[in-house]
Amino acid sequence: MSANKQIECPSCALYSDREELVCPYCGYEFPELSTSRKWVAWLMAFLMIWPLSKLIDLLF
């Protein structure tokens, strides 16, 4: 009933909040969530590089 927002830690088998990136009990980093975090990091990098490449186009 209320388990859909919880994630089971593969390291200590305890349930924690789905929004947690790291298990609050043992410190295990959930791979599924850290992958989405990497995507956000890539997106941020892209958004920073994109206007920079436009600036280079204007200069050359």
Judged by beta carbon, residue 13 or residue 58, the one nearer Zn ion is: 13
Q: What are phi and psi of 6, to 5 degrees?
A: -115, 155
Residue 28 contacts Zn ion per CB under 5 A: yes
Stretch that binds Zn ion, among 17-25, 31-39, 47-55 (CB under 5 A): 17-25
Q: Which residues pair with 29 in a beta bridge?
A: 22
Q: How far is the CB of 4 from Zn ion (least distance, A)?
A: 19
Both tokens of residue 47?
């958004």
12 binds Zn ion (CB under 5 A): yes
7 binds Zn ion (CB under 5 A): no
* Rounded Cα distance, 48 and 31, in Å: 26
